[in-house]
């Protein structure tokens, strides 16, 4: 069976939902729709529903959203992210590592939506101590950029950052870091919030950020967190400087394990993560070892990964 000329990309996360009509050959985006209703909000709207009732409800929701997408016609939809979780459309088991790039053994399942549209639901990946849903599809799409290297680490920063170990054509392990969530908790709900001020507009204090990165690498996170408060009391540090010092502490602590000679690090992120992580990596591994993918490249990677899984569905 031939690949369809178009497909609908569905990126359904915990807090977001995005549909795009895409040409299969060159991944050109012809139409797009984004709403703020991720699977969590839809699950909480009907928390007592059975799994069968939730599947019918979410499948109907998806079909209605697709109907509003210009040019959707009868094109198949490929769904990645949290839609395959236990609060999503249908829970699927995790695939296990390694994730080989030539023949990715991701779990997927074919569905039929209420409008009789074929759908491919992609599951996540697990190892003994960690899980992810959604990032594996991005990693699959980014794999071509890693193909010329024997080994390295792919970084996908975010609320829950992922570090994927790459070796000879496969992702062999990964680790999740709660960096973004910890930053939110510390700046909004801890004693440190009194010493911090979120910067106006696009203001950035690189020196304070780098100081935080160096402090984390030299002494670790917990030994220096209270320094944010002490800087205010003893040095009357500017609260905006403290904001970036704390950011540097958390990101530096996340990245300190990469401080090894010859480490090749592949960073894929949008702003502000791209700037922050690149600056921290320059402190830790050096500029020569950093390879960056921009936000458009990361967006395209998701589509490329979904196309790979569409091909797996078409080829049975």
pLDDT value of residue 133 = 94
Which residue's entry shows tokens 């193909």?
A: 147
| More confident position, 85 or 236 | 85
- pLDDT of 65 higher than 80: yes
Residues whose CB falls within 8 Å of the CB of residue 129, separated by 6 or more in sequence, listed in order: none
pLDDT at 2: 87
* Identical fold, 6-147+296-314 and 178-285: yes
Residue corresponding to tokens 């990645």: 80
> For residue 93, what is the DSSP state?
P
Find out whether 299 and 20 touch, Cβ atoms under 8 Å. Answer: no
> What's the pLDDT band for 168 if we cut at 50, 70, 90?
confident
Q: What percent of the chain has pLDDT over 90?
A: 81
CA distance 107 to 56: 21
Q: How far apart are the C-alpha atoms of 75 and 23, rounded to whole Å?
A: 10
| All residues at 6 or more sequence positions from 261 whose CB lies less than 8 Å from its CB, including other chains | none
The tens digit of pLDDT for each residue in 267-299 reads 999 999 999 999 999 999 998 899 999 889 999
214-240 pLDDT, tens per residue? 999 999 999 999 999 999 889 888 999
Cα separation, 45 vs 7, in Å, equals 29
Q: How confident is the model at residue 164 (pLDDT cuts 50, 70, 90)?
A: very high
The set of residues, in sequence order, having a beta carbon less than 8 Å from that of 139 and lying 6+ positions away, is 99, 154, 156, 164, 171, 301, 305
Q: What confidence category does residue 82 fall into, taking pLDDT thresholds of 50, 70 and 90? A: very high
Residue 188's φ and ψ, nearest 5 degrees, are -110, -25
Residue 200 φ/ψ, nearest 5 degrees: -75, 145
Sequence spans of domains, the chain: 6-147+296-314, 178-285
Q: Is the pLDDT of residue 202 over 90?
A: no
The yes-or-no verdict on residue 102 having pLDDT over 80 is: no
Two tokens, residue 182: 């910890």
DSSP code at position 169: T
Q: Which tokens in the block code for residue 55? A: 């599947």
The predicted structure's pLDDT at residue 303: 97
Class of domain 6-147+296-314: alpha beta
For residue 260, what pLDDT is reported?
A: 76
- CATH 2.60.260.40 correct for 178-285: no
């Amino acid at each position: 069976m031939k690949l369809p000329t178009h497909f609908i990309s569905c990126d359904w996360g915990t807090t977001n939902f995005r549909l795009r009509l895409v040409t299969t050959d060159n991944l050109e985006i012809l139409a797009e729709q984004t709403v703020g209703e991720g699977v969590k909000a839809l699950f909480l709207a009907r928390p007592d529903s059975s799994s069968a009732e939730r599947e019918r409800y979410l499948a109907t929701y998806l079909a209605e959203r697709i109907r509003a997408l210009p040019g959707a016609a009868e094109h198949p939809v490929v769904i990645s992210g949290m839609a395959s979780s236990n609060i999503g459309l249908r829970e699927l088991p995790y695939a296990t590592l390694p994730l080989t790039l030539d023949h990715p053994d991701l779990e997927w399942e074919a569905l039929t939506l209420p409008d009789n549209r074929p759908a491919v639901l992609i599951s996540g990946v697990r190892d003994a101590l960690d899980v992810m849903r959604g990032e594996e599809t991005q990693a699959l799409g980014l794999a071509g950029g890693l193909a010329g290297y024997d080994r390295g680490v792919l970084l996908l920063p975010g609320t829950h950052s992922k570090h994927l170990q790459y070796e000879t054509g496969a992702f062999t392990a990964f680790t999740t870091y709660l960096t973004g969530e910890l930053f939110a908790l510390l700046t909004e709900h801890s004693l440190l919030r009194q010493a911090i001020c979120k910067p106006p507009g696009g203001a950035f204090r690189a020196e304070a950020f780098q100081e935080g990165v160096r402090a984390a690498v030299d002494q670790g996170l917990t030994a220096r967190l209270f320094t944010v408060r002490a800087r205010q009391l003893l040095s009357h540090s500017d609260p905006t400087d403290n904001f970036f010092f704390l950011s540097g502490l958390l990101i530096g602590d996340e990245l300190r394990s990469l401080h090894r000679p010859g480490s090749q690090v592949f960073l894929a992120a949008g702003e502000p993560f791209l700037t922050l992580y690149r600056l921290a990596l320059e402190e830790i591994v050096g500029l020569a070892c950093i390879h960056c993918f921009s936000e458009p490249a990361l967006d395209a990677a998701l589509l490329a990964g979904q196309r790979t899984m569409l091909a797996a569905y078409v080829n049975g």
